[in-house]
Amino acid sequence: MKNTKQEKKQQVDDAKRTFLSGENFYAQHLLGAHQEQDGYIFRVWAPNALAVSLVGDFNNWQDLPMEKDESSGIWQVYTDKANEGELYKFKVKQADGREILKIDPFAVRFEKRPGDAAELYNFPEKKWKDGLWRGRSKRTNAFKRPLNIYEMHASSWKHHEDGAPYSFADLKDELVPYLAEMNYTHVEFMPLMEHPLGRSWGYQLIGYFAMSSYYGTPAEFQDFVEACHLNNIGVLVDWVPGHYCINDDTLPYYDGTPQFEYTDPDRAKNNRWGSINFDLGKPQVQSFLISSAMYWIEMFHIDGIRVDAVSSMIYRDYDDGPWTPNHEGGNRNFEGYYFLQKLNAVIKLAHPNILMIAEESSSETPVTGMIESGSLGFDFKWNMGWMNDVLRFYEMDPLYRKDNFNLITFSFMYMMQENFILPLSHDEVVHGKKSLMHKMWGDRYKQFAQLRNLYTYFMTHPGKKLLFMGSEWGQFLEWKFDKGLEWVDLDDPLNHSMQHFTAELNDFYKNQTALWELEDSYDTIEIIDADNTEESVLTFMRKGKRKKDFLIIVLNMTPIERREFHIGVPYPGTYKEIWNTEMKEFGGTWTKHNEDCQSEPIKFKEYGQLIKTTVPALGAIILKPETINTRKK
């Protein structure tokens, strides 16, 4: 028994040492509350606190003094009075003598809002059944596979009749079949970690190891993820390692001194979002954050993490307030830069198949690719430039599109600089920006026609895909975080047809290898005509590995039908229309496809063969070779 106690003490001492050095990536096993013998042991890191006490339901919220390990700054106490389900906090006597009740930064469960006390919670043992999915993921190259993400805010997808949001138990029953029916490959949730204010959408966190009790229990989320995997759907989660909630009883100035935050108040304060920035260069903070990421990956079997607001972590001048140049006189935040490289290196070493995704708005720093080449080491980056340009274009009166055609073609110049995801995200359908449907020019019929056109461009442009919930059927109202989506829209035939269109387009994307097989190479695309500004028609090809595997995409950006439209093709033969956004089943007026096109030996641009067809007004068509001779051009 003595040796066992000594071994356990050594394990704890080793965990403290690696926590202090920034190399403990399972710090939740050391800190927080843990069941031990007939009670619980509590540990909290507060190096400059004058005293710390444990208070909770089990001691009538009276002080139970904790003992400090001077070498680590970690306070500890054991009690056999605590029971699962009871609430607790730490009373911290801060460096200036002020006493304040603080949360447990490592809590895995919190009481429901508006309270923020931690709850003692023991995970029920989960016997996972998703081994087939996880094994297949390890053998799959994500860069050469379809990736089509349905982005969600968990509590505003649907509400019950009494106004209560769906829990993950509800989402398991309704959302999983919906994702399968709509042919999405992945679902991505805005942050699920504990946050006290719903209005923050989860981007101002207090609990980095706790799923918000607003969404149900951690066990329910585990079951949800498993159900997704059994239906061949991946699960991604947003995560916010840059900044955190400013509430005084949470993480800020935990022991009365800059503990989780930068010492420089200008660097600590995030003026833009009214929050506090993590000191990403501090080893203990690195242990805390990387442990959080690993926890979500391993405890919930998620398939990837989208890191929010990367620009705010790698540039000192990103915020609206005063800033100080680094030691080289520049704006690089070296602490954030090296932390993100370390984060990606650690996660990829332990879990090579986990997708690491960056939401980053600048182009000054390589984000995806090998860390050894100076990149941050992410797998994918949101293409914010594409999103901004394209939405500006589709909001525009077609009369002016010919003079702004570069808005939809400029992305072809840089599309391989990073591994991109094309995001039509929540950020574009709030704060008066209008929904995607509402952004479209013209009357209601033209708006739907353009939305179908936009989604076809979105799905055929190189890059993985992300679409925010409600956009799949063209919800007209902006997203509201505290209400369910406008499901009543689907009683309208045009909205219903739009939803059907999106499901069919998603299925088309999954089944057309030319849209993703060579996506990490310029070989995936060939521009046929990006200079037809007068007619405002864009024509390009997407190509797969096989010579005969290619698609011809034609997008008409005006309300004028283009008859006898000329398209250059690489080989002589017959070309078949396999996609037309104006089909009646999608909400258009066409009852049958264009007839097959037989090429003629007429030169067009760089091509020796020409086909002619009709392109619908504000419509898009896709052609595929039916019978061609690849030995001739």
Active-site residue, from 308, 418, 428, 582: 308
3-state SS track over 550-594: EEEEEEECCCCCEEEEEEEECCCEEEEEEEECCEHHHCCCECCCC
Give the span between the Cα atoms of 442 and 420, in whole angstroms: 31
With pLDDT > 90 as the criterion, what percentage of the chain qualifies? 95
- What are the tens digits of pLDDT across the range 418-442? 999 999 999 999 999 999 999 999 9
Q: What angle do CA 235, 241, 246 make, to 5 degrees?
A: 120
Q: Where are the alpha helices (DSSP H) in 315-421?
A: 334-350, 384-395, 406-409
Q: Is the pLDDT of residue 3 over 80?
A: no
CA distances for 225 relative to 124, 174, 423, 448, 538, angstroms: 16, 13, 23, 33, 40
Q: Is the dihedral of CA 332, 338, 343, 345 positive or negative?
A: positive
Q: Do domains 2-119 and 147-388+402-443+464-496 have the same CATH topology?
A: no
Please confirm, yes or no, whether 38 is among the known catalytic residues: no
Mean pLDDT for 465-479 is 97
- What are the tens digits of pLDDT across the range 185-232? 999 999 999 999 999 999 999 999 999 999 999 999 999 999 999 999
pLDDT at 460: 98
Q: Between these two residues, 361 and 54, which has the higher pLDDT value?
A: 54
Q: Is the pLDDT of residue 610 over 90?
A: yes
pLDDT at 2: 54
Does CATH place domain 147-388+402-443+464-496 in 3.20.20.80? yes
Q: Are 422 and 386 in contact (CB under 8 A)?
A: yes
Please confirm, yes or no, whether 308 is among the known catalytic residues: yes
Residue 301: how many other CB atoms lie within 10 Å: 19
Q: Is the dihedral of CA 195, 199, 200, 204 positive or negative?
A: negative
Q: Across the strands, what pairs with 355?
A: 304
Active-site residue, from 116, 119, 359, 517: 359
pLDDT at 529: 97
One of 2.60.40.10, 3.40.50.300, 3.20.20.70, 4.10.320.10 is the CATH number of 2-119, namely 2.60.40.10
Q: Is the pLDDT of residue 66 over 70?
A: yes
pLDDT at 633: 67
- What is the residue-wise DSSP string for 213-253? GGG--HHHHHHHHHHHHHTT-EEEEEE--SEE---TTSSTT
Q: How is the chain split into domains, by residue range?
A: 2-119, 147-388+402-443+464-496
Q: Between these two residues, 267 and 631, which has the higher pLDDT value?
A: 267
Give the helix/strand (H/E) hosting 44: strand 39-45
Q: What is the DSSP letter of 348?
A: H
Helix 384-395 vs helix 444-460: crossing angle, to nearest 10: 150
With pLDDT > 70 as the criterion, what percentage of the chain qualifies? 99
pLDDT at 559: 97
pLDDT at 5: 84
Mean pLDDT for 243-250 is 97
Give the span between the Cα atoms of 595 and 617, in whole angstroms: 17
* Structure tokens given for 475: 């919800």
The single residue listed with the structure tokens 């029971």 is 83
Give the span between the Cα atoms of 105 and 102, in whole angstroms: 9
pLDDT at 1: 47
CA distances for 382 relative to 239, 287, 466, angstroms: 15, 26, 9
Q: By mean pLDDT, which of 129-143, 164-178, 385-399, 445-459 is the weakest?
A: 129-143
Among candidate residues 201, 181, 179, 205, the one with its CA nearest the CA of residue 193:
205
| 398 three-state secondary structure | helix
Q: Are 49 and 36 in contact (CB under 8 A)?
A: no
Q: Are 457 and 408 in contact (CB under 8 A)?
A: yes
Mean pLDDT for 72-91 is 97
